[in-house]
Amino acid sequence: MIDLKFLRENPDIVKENIKKKFQDAKLPLVDEVIELDTQYRAFKQEADTLRGGRNKLSKEIGMLMAQGKREEAEAVKKQVSANAQRLAELEVLEGEYSEKIKNIMMRIPNIIDPSVPIGKDDSENVEVQKYGEPVVPDFDIPYHAEIMESLNGLDLDSARKVAGNGFYYLMGDIARLHSAIISYARDFMIDRGFTYCIPPFMIRSEVVTGVMSFAEMDAMMYKIEGEDLYLIGTSEHSMIGKFIDTIIPEAELPYTLTSYSPCFRKEKGAHGIEERGVYRIHQFEKQEMIVVCKPEESPAWFDKLWQNTVDLFRTLDIPVRTLECCSGDLADLKVKSIDVEAWSPRQKKYFEVGSCSNLGDAQARRLRIRVNGKDGKYFAHTLNNTVVAPPRMLIAFLENNMNADGSVNIPKALQPYMGGKTIITK
């Protein structure tokens, strides 16, 4: 959510930003919110005047009564009564207009960074850099579900009977590999100075609307029936929510946290949920990283965060590339975003395994996360990035470490988490 004062003073910049995101249907919202804001401020000014005059009129009544001027005092009393009635009306209008303004402001996209490439959708994202040499072996790489099943590590049929499409049972060494990757990612981030955290796996609606757009919420979140609780789609949601309604001493920044959680997603409107495999699913686990920092430090932290993911994947012998998300592919709260994609030898192309985002002060503004600085209070900047998100990450791992006989090598960095195993065999 952008600053209302900024919108009021720079409507053309806000409209141009909307056009860059190819959301022209939202252009009328700018003029609408300016008109509502004008009326709101008029109501507030009148209300403040009436509030300020109450004591003055009360004193006047007392003086008139003391002077025996009962009729004049009664007239002032009537004025006080009329003012009180008008003030009550104005306070209702203040609340109504404030809510209308807030709802519209939450639909207007954040101002994107000038470096973001302009494009309509993810097909126009821009490759930044490749890390590691993509290799296509001289033998066929099976579909990832077939690899897992050949190692007695995946049972989709049972999961379908128990929970439906989009769920899975991981078994044996594949299940152990899944847990090993999460544990390795946890320790990798701790070694880089991040504080480990396990957050709540459910959050209230106020936190949901504080961390994401309405469109994302509708497409992703599962609601707990009869309660003001939602299952998290990523631990970033509750990790940023941890700071709701806080005033942080500037000297304590930055906060650098890495968190583990299961994640639950409806994947509404997404393709692939019916496919046999674990690429697009309703339930998965994830290691995340988040940063809460001063505004001037967020660009540097953005680069550090995506680099962490690149470095981790390279320790596991997986080639990756970074991809700059274009304007039309950015969610409304994001200022800038980079996807990390892993190489798939089977498909002979890269696919997304993580996403790094700088949200500026959008989440902090919605959740009222402020910093107490030497020159006064200001909103913090928030950033988040995926460390690893198996089982999707397992696809890249298995394909890039598979041998011709169907066995899978365990990279040295992961062997301590696999009980010393160096290879998974049929």
Q: 56-60, 146-150, 193-197 — which is least confidently predicted?
A: 56-60
Range in 17-21, 251-255, 280-284, 338-342 with the lowest mean pLDDT? 280-284
Q: How confident is the model at residue 68 (pLDDT cuts 50, 70, 90)?
A: confident
Residue 18 included in any domain: yes
Bridge partners (DSSP) of residue 358 are: 336, 383
| Assigned domain for 114 exists | no
Bridge partners of residue 342, in order along the sequence: 320, 351
- Residue 268 or residue 413, greater confidence: 413
Stated length of the chain: 426
Burial of 200 (0-12, 13-18, 19+ CB in 10 A): middle
Q: What is the pLDDT of residue 161?
A: 96
273: confidence class by pLDDT, cuts 50, 70, 90: low
| Cα–Cα dist 403/408, whole Å | 6
Residues 86 and 8 in one domain: yes
Q: How confident is the model at residue 420 (pLDDT cuts 50, 70, 90)?
A: very high
Residue 32: give the domain boundaries. Answer: 4-105
Burial of 201 (0-12, 13-18, 19+ CB in 10 A): middle
In this prediction, residue 274 carries a pLDDT of: 62
Considering 74, 105, 136, which residue would you say is the last residue of a domain?
105
Within 8 A by CB and 6+ apart from 214, the residues are 106, 107
Do residues 207 and 324 share a domain? yes
Residue 153 falls inside a structural domain: yes
* Same-domain status, 22 and 147: no
Give the rounded distance of the alpha carbon of 136 from its chain centre.
35
Residue type, 27: L
Question: Which pLDDT band holds residue 82 (cuts at 50, 70, 90)?
Answer: confident
Residue 406 lies in a domain: yes
Task: Report yes or no on 116 lying in a domain.
Answer: no
406 φ, ψ to 5°? 90, -5
Last residue of a domain, one of 75, 105, 135: 105
Using one digit for the tens of pLDDT, what is the confidence trace for 354-405?
999 999 999 999 999 999 999 999 999 999 999 999 988 999 999 999 999 9
Write down the pLDDT at residue 86.
86
Please write the tens of the pLDDT for every residue from 253-270: 999 999 999 999 998 766
Least confident interval from 6-10, 69-73, 145-149, 356-360: 69-73
Regarding whether 232 and 153 lie in a shared domain, the answer is yes
Q: Are 291 and 419 found together in one domain?
A: yes
Whether residue 206 sits in one domain with residue 129: yes
Report the pLDDT value the prediction gives residue 272, as an integer from 0 to 100. Answer: 61
Mean pLDDT, residues 408-419: 96
The mean of the pLDDT values for the chain is 93
- Residue 73's domain is classified under what CATH number? 1.10.287.40
- DSSP secondary structure code for residue 426 in this structure: -
In this structure, the answer to whether residues 85 and 137 fall within a common structural domain is no
Instruction: Give the model's confidence band at 275: pLDDT under 50 very low, under 70 low, under 90 confident, else very high.
Output: confident
> What percentage of the chain carries pLDDT values higher than 90?
82
Cα(272)–Cα(266) distance, integer angstroms: 12
Q: Please check the confidence at residue 214 and state whether its pLDDT lies above 80.
A: no
Please give the pLDDT value at position 55: 65
Q: Which has more confidence, 316 or 218?
A: 316
pLDDT tens digits, 289-343? 999 999 999 999 999 999 999 999 999 999 999 999 999 999 999 999 999 999 9
Instruction: Please determine, for residue 226, whether its predicted confidence score (pLDDT) is greater than 70.
Output: yes
Give the rounded percent of residues in the chain with a pLDDT score beyond 70. Answer: 96
If you average pLDDT over residues 226-235, what whole number do you get? 94
In a domain, 207, yes or no: yes
Q: Hey, which bits of 173-328 come out as E strands?
A: 195-197, 202-203, 222-223, 230-231, 246-249, 255-264, 283-293, 320-324
* Contact (CB, 8 A) for 199 and 259: yes
Q: Which helix (H) or strand (E) holds 220?
A: helix 214-220
Which of 384, 17, 96, 64 shows the shortest CA–CA distance to 237?
384
Q: Are 403 and 379 in contact (CB under 8 A)?
A: no
Could you tell me if 286 and 232 are in contact, meaning their C-beta atoms sit under 8 angstroms apart? no
- The answer to whether 343 and 350 have CB atoms below 8 angstroms apart is yes
Give the end of a domain, one of 70, 105, 140: 105
Query: Is 115 a domain residue?
Result: no
Q: Report CA Rg, the chain.
A: 28
SS3 at position 13: helix
Q: What is the pLDDT of residue 271?
A: 61
385 and 297 share a domain? yes
Is there a single domain that holds both residue 83 and residue 152?
no
- Do 25 and 169 belong together in one domain? no
Residue 365 within a domain: yes
Q: Tell me: do 279 and 174 sit in the same domain.
A: yes
* CATH code, domain carrying 196: 3.30.930.10
Q: What stretches of 77-152 adopt beta strand conformation (E)?
A: 126-131
Number of domains in the chain: 2
The pLDDT of residue 59 is 67
Q: For residue range 100-125, list pLDDT tens digits in order.
A: 999 999 999 999 999 999 999 999 99
- Do 226 and 372 share a domain, yes or no? yes
Residue that has been written with the tokens 């252009």 in this structure: 27
